[in-house]
Amino acid sequence: MAQARRDKEKAMKVRNSLRSLKQRHRDCQIVRRKGRVYVINKTQKKFKARQG
């Protein structure tokens, strides 16, 4: 069931470096949660990414 839910959602990009992904949109923010670094964007949800 978890696999079906994951297929419906857009996958989060996983990259080694988030610097270029932060510059894709002016509302992108870099946040650190639970030891991981994320790029989030509350206005354009497609610009989310995780480092590592």
In angstroms, rounded to a whole number, what is the distance separating the alpha carbons of residues 1 and 18?
Answer: 31
In the chain, what percentage of residues exceed pLDDT 90?
62
Cα radius of gyration (the chain): 12
H helices within the chain, ranges in order? 2-8, 19-22
Q: The whole model's pTM is what?
A: 0.72
What residues of the chain score a pLDDT lower than 70? 1-10
Which CA distances in Å does 29 have to 14, 36, 37, 47?
16, 14, 10, 10
